[in-house]
Structure 1
Amino acid sequence: MAKDLNKVMLTGHLGADPEMRYTAQGSAVTTFRVASGRAWKSSDGSQHDDTEWFRVVAWDKLGEICNQYLTKGTRVYVEGRLQTRKWQDQNGQDRYSTEVIANDMIILSSRQDRPSGGNDYEAPMEDEIPAPVPTRRAAPAPAAAPAAAPRPANGSSRAAAPATRAPSRNVPQAIDNDEDLPF
């Protein structure tokens, strides 16, 4: 059976500050609206602009992050899926709402372009950065004792230096300045 795909990727600016609330079970849910614009020229050469508004819902940790770091006017990339909900209004009429359920968000505005709202990120002090956790590797099989050290092929009497392993790429690094922040 073939898999279906429901994926939304959009960029735009927040129309208002996010609103966060908690469900009865304690899950954080944050909603915000993103305006995504496009511009085109018609056949007569006149310029047209169009803006599409998207309601975005972020759950749990992503919702908390969105509430903490996003403000009105911030430019964001949001990735998620479309979901349509149905309910009845006070008059008994069926109403529908389509929203993007976010599973990823990236802030595209630079720190200078973002509106100031007191949500500044503070980089952890160097002593607060956790040490890398060593990975467990299988012990090498015991080798037979070598009779003599091998001689290099070029005839010199020096033994080859043991190969050194390059440092791991996933070791946490200290953040030197604000431009190193991923958002």
Structure 2
Amino acid sequence: MINRVVLVGRLTRDPELRYTANGAAVASFTLAVNRQFTNSQGEREADFIDCVIWRKAAENFANFTHKGSLVGIDGRLQTRNYENQQGQRVYVTETVVDNFSLLESRSDRKPTDSQQNKPSNGNGFSGKGADGQQKQNANQTYSNANQTNSDPFADNSKPIDISDDDLPF
């Protein structure tokens, strides 16, 4: 049997990160995925797919994405059910994410107001640190992009001596 889901779309809201009673991180989000065809008005419709991601990957996903982020996910389809407060059985179908990819460069991402107000750890990503730091970094990137020849590696065809251990990927 094969149960594999591969999707590319944009987040409809910021991921909702919570923790189970056992301390496991879980983030839920909805992914808007365009359909391949257009409707009678010539517009593309979208499907809104509920997704869930667990553990450290959930924390990373919540820290590095926000509403509107373009992401690729790889996972499996899962159906679960529970009894609500009215005693009715509720069925939920969602994609359980195994892997994800950020499909925009950091400079292409447009932070929302909530993203700019998130604490930052000083490296341009959301995390622990002083409030307002990320907004300053985003503005600094913008101002550096407007300067001519601000790239120290521009027009430099010399090889860079760097070990594999120093690469971030």
Same fold (TM over 0.5): yes
**Structure holding more helix per residue:** 2
C-alpha displacement of 1:39? 4.4
Which residue number corresponds to residue 8 of structure 2?
Answer: 11
- Aligned partner letter, 1:121: F
Kindly provide the CA deviation profile for residues 42-82 of structure 1, in whole angstroms up to 9, marking residues without a partner as x. 6xx75242111111111111001001101000000011011
CA distance in 2, matches of 1:59, 1:91: 29
Which residue number corresponds to residue 36 of structure 1?
Answer: 33
Query: TM-score of the superposition, structure 2-length normalised?
Result: 0.65
- Aligned partner letter, 1:52: D
Q: 1:173 aligned to 2:166?
A: yes
CA distance in 1, matches of 2:96, 2:88: 25
- Conservation of the 8 A alpha-carbon contact between 2:38 and 2:45: no
- Aligned partner letter, 1:86: N
| 1:119-158 alignment runs, 5 A limit | 120-121=124-125
C-alpha displacement of 1:114? 1.4
CA distance in 2, matches of 1:115, 1:48: 24
Say if 1:30 and 1:38 are closer, same or farther in 2 by CA, change over 3 A. Answer: same
C-alpha displacement of 1:87? 1.5
SS in structure 2 at match of 1:67? helix
| Identity level (%) | 34
Structure number, greater radius of gyration: 1
- Conservation of the 8 A alpha-carbon contact between 1:18 and 1:30: yes
C-alpha displacement of 1:174? 4.3
CA distance in 2, matches of 1:41, 1:92: 41
Kindly provide the CA deviation profile for residues 118-142 of structure 1, in whole angstroms up to 9, marking residues without a partner as x. 46239xxxxxxxxxxxxxxxxxxxx
Which residue number corresponds to residue 76 of structure 2?
Answer: 81
- Conservation of the 8 A alpha-carbon contact between 2:63 and 2:125: no
Query: Pick from 66, 73, 77: which aligns with 1:71?
Result: 66
SS in structure 2 at match of 1:172? helix
- Aligned partner letter, 1:68: N
Query: TM-score of the superposition, structure 1-length normalised?
Result: 0.61
Aligned residues: 124
CA distance in 2, matches of 1:64, 1:97: 23
RMSD: 2.3
Which residue number corresponds to residue 22 of structure 2?
Answer: 25
- Aligned partner letter, 1:81: R
Where in structure 2 are there 5+ consecutive unaligned residues? 127-162
- Conservation of the 8 A alpha-carbon contact between 1:14 and 1:32: yes
- Conservation of the 8 A alpha-carbon contact between 1:13 and 1:35: yes
